[in-house]
């Protein structure tokens, strides 16, 4: 039976009243503190929302559903390494990233940015590696702090500015769920007989399965990811084997384009692949808060980096190959014009009915990528404030899957536009946030010896005011806007590269924030002492 250590040992009395609870051995009776002194009973009015929320939480514990939200996981509540281990970290990230959306991202190099196979593959792999580095470092804060990533943000930006980061993080997570839902629905629809299963129904199927896995919480989530990677790896290897001979390895879609346009396209595709990985940083610590506080940070970093790098490199290169093949295989281009999911199904076509089965496995692989943001979103909603915190995680978990499911159904015909616009736009602010986090940690916590008080996660009087972080964040955004290159807007500095621009928003936003933050943070510490 899966039972996270953080659950209290409650035993319900079979008296017909679900709210009567017998305390576990060693606990004080209800209505008394640990010293045996009576304290006032809370209101038990049938109409109080608090009473209903309490009943929901007790029901969750009865069925071993994780009820813990944003509360810090204290050292005594952590799991031992024999239960988890560093291999679990590697497999979790490997499973998360080895899926259809990363494949579809690889399509864009040859098809949208007109880059040959070699250029696309190299840019995709190295762009993702640059994005993975900060993700691996943020993951190390999970064991050392016991706090979720958005609670860590309170220590960086302060109580009120952190709410802006939480909202942007929720937009990232829900946006990724939207993209995953659309691709999964497209694949299930394409593999059905004559499209008898609509994309809408496919989206609903993928989202419902995701909700079930993520709702049970930390233990089931980790258990699922521990084994989900194996069928995903098998079918992607089969895809590479059956479709590989049709990859256009030597074609040059850039022929006829000016050198400036090619340079801009290379920069934009590199930035897009970077953005697709760096956004994992917003939830990286969430998945390891139950690891022991003294666990090796170096090994956590290496396991995270290796899991994400190997899976993204493999899936991206196969995706680039499929994208390149559309130039020489009319049936592939025809399928791509239907949807990205249809191209994957078409590539499996030589395997017949078994290929259809493999396509279904690819679509279900998206669940492994959808569970983490759904799980993290259910917690991050609580980080918006004290009233939000009172709502059980399972309710926010449901909200976090319903919203993107509805949006995926509405935007199912515009996936490529969502990819190129949404991913890069979200990557800008995450890069800015990373710059502020790194400088706060290395300059003001380690170098100045101020350290971290992880128990102060919910005490606004012990957290930074947030002026320095907020100003640096806004200045970084100005730099990103001036240097961004999207279909709907090309910044004046990005436009200097070519008429289509070259996306430099991630790098300039990071640099400007990194320049502005240190002097402002030093002033803030001198002025307010925190």
**Cα torsion for 15, 20, 21, 27, to the nearest 10°?**
-130
| Structural tokens at position 353 | 């009915």
Cα angle: 4, vertex 6, 12; to 5 degrees: 85
Report residue 83: phi and psi, to 5°: -85, -30
Examine residue 429 and state whether it is found in any structural domain, yes or no: no
Q: In which band, very low, low, confident or very high, does the pLDDT at 489 lie, cut at 50, 70 and 90?
A: confident
Examine residue 452 and state whether it is found in any structural domain, yes or no: no
Give the DSSP H/E element, type plus range, for residue 142: helix 141-145
| Structural tokens at position 217 | 């919480």
Average pLDDT over residues 119-144: 96
117-139 and 100-111 are packed helices; what angle lies between their axes, rounded to 10 degrees? 140
Residues 29 and 111 occupy one common structural domain: no
Residues 149 and 285 occupy one common structural domain: yes
2-16, 388-402, 411-425, range with greatest mean pLDDT: 388-402
Residues 333 and 471 occupy one common structural domain: no
Residues 12 and 92 occupy one common structural domain: no
Total number of domains in the chain: 3
- pLDDT above 90 (res 144): yes
Distances (CA, A) of 63 to 2, 257, 284: 10, 61, 27
Examine residue 333 and state whether it is found in any structural domain, yes or no: yes
The pLDDT tens digits of the residues spanning 33-49 come to: 443 444 444 444 445 66
What is residue 292's predicted lDDT score, i.e. its pLDDT? 92
What is residue 124's predicted lDDT score, i.e. its pLDDT? 97
Report residue 396: phi and psi, to 5°: -65, -35
The pLDDT tens digits of the residues spanning 238-297 come to: 999 999 999 999 999 988 899 999 999 999 999 999 999 999 999 999 999 999 999 999
- pLDDT above 70 (res 528): yes
Examine residue 426 and state whether it is found in any structural domain, yes or no: no
> Counting every residue, how long is the chain?
530
Can you tell me whether residue 190 is helix, strand or coil?
Answer: helix
Partners of 32 in beta bridges: 38
DSSP assignment of 325-370 equals HTTT-HHHHHHHHH-HHHHHHHHTGGGTHHHHHHHHHHHHHHHHHH
Q: Domain span at residue 356?
A: 83-421
Handedness of CA 467, 470, 473, 477 (dihedral sign): negative
Report the percent of the chain where pLDDT is more than 90. 56
Average pLDDT over residues 507-512: 96
- pLDDT above 80 (res 50): no
- Cβ distance 279 to 425 under 8 Å? no
What is residue 125's predicted lDDT score, i.e. its pLDDT? 97
Predicted TM-score (pTM) of the model is 0.84
Residues 376 and 472 occupy one common structural domain: no
Examine residue 430 and state whether it is found in any structural domain, yes or no: no
The pLDDT tens digits of the residues spanning 442-475 come to: 999 988 888 899 999 989 899 999 999 999 999 9
What is residue 486's predicted lDDT score, i.e. its pLDDT? 81
Handedness of CA 310, 78, 71, 162 (dihedral sign): negative
More confident residue, 379 or 43: 379
- pLDDT above 90 (res 63): no
Can you tell me whether residue 79 is helix, strand or coil?
Answer: coil
Average pLDDT over residues 492-517: 93
Residues 248 and 335 occupy one common structural domain: yes
- Cβ distance 326 to 111 under 8 Å? yes
- pLDDT above 60 (res 6): no
Residues 112 and 214 occupy one common structural domain: yes
8-state DSSP, 11? E
């Amino acid at each position: 039976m899966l039972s996270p250590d953080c659950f209290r040992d409650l035993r319900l009395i079979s008296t017909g009243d679900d709210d009567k609870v017998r305390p576990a051995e060693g606990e004080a009776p209800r209505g008394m503190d640990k010293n045996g002194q009576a304290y006032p009973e809370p209101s038990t009015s049938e109409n109080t929302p608090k009473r209903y929320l309490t009943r929901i939480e007790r029901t969750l514990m009865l069925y071993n559903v994780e009820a813990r939200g944003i509360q810090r996981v204290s050292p005594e509540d952590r799991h031992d390494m024999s239960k988890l281990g560093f291999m679990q970290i590697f497999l979790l990230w490997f499973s998360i990233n080895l899926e259809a959306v990363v494949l579809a991202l690889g399509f864009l190099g040859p098809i949208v940015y007109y880059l040959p196979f070699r250029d696309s593959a190299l840019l995709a792999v190295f762009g993702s590696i640059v994005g993975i580095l900060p993700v691996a470092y943020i993951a190390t804060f999970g064991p050392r702090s016991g706090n979720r990533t958005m609670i860590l943000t309170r220590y960086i930006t302060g109580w009120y500015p952190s709410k802006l980061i939480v909202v942007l993080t929720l937009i990232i997570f829900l946006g990724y769920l939207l993209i995953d839902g659309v691709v999964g629905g497209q694949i299930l629809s394409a593999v059905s007989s004559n499209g008898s299963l609509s994309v809408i129904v496919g989206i609903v199927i993928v989202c419902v399965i995701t909700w079930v896995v993520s709702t049970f919480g930390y233990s089931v989530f980790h258990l699922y990811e521990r084994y989900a990677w194996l069928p995903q790896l098998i079918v992607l290897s089969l895809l590479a084997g059956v479709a590989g001979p049709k990859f256009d390895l030597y074609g040059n879609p850039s022929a006829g384009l000016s050198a400036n346009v090619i340079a801009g396209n290379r920069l934009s595709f590199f930035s897009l692949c970077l953005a697709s990985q760096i956004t994992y940083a917003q939830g990286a610590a969430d998945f390891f808060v139950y690891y022991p506080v003294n666990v090796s940070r170096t090994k956590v970093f290496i396991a995270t980096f290796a899991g994400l790098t190997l899976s993204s490199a493999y899936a991206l290169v196969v995706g680039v190959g499929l994208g390149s093949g559309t130039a020489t295989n009319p049936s592939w281009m025809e399928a791509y014009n239907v949807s990205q999911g249809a191209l994957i199904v078409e590539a499996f076509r030589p395997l017949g009915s078994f290929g259809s089965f493999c396509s279904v496995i690819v679509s279900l692989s998206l669940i492994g990528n959808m569970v983490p943001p759904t799980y993290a979103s259910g917690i991050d909603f609580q980080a918006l404030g004290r009233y939000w915190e009172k709502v059980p995680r399972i309710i926010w978990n449901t909200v976090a899957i319903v919203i993107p499911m509805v949006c995926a159904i509405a935007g199912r015909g515009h996936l490529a536009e969502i990819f190129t616009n949404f991913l890069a736009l979200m990557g800008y602010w995450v890069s800015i946030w990373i710059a502020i986090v790194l400088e706060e940690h290395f300059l003001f916590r380690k170098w100045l010896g101020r350290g971290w008080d992880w128990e102060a996660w919910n005490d606004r009087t012990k957290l930074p005011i947030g002026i320095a972080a907020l100003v640096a964040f806004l200045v970084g955004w100005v730099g990103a806007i001036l240097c961004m290159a999207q279909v709907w807007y090309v910044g004046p500095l990005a436009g200097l590269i070519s008429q289509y621009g070259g996306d430099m928003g991630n790098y300039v936003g990071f640099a400007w924030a990194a320049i502005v933050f240190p002097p402002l943070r030093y002033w803030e510490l001198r002025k307010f002492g925190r």
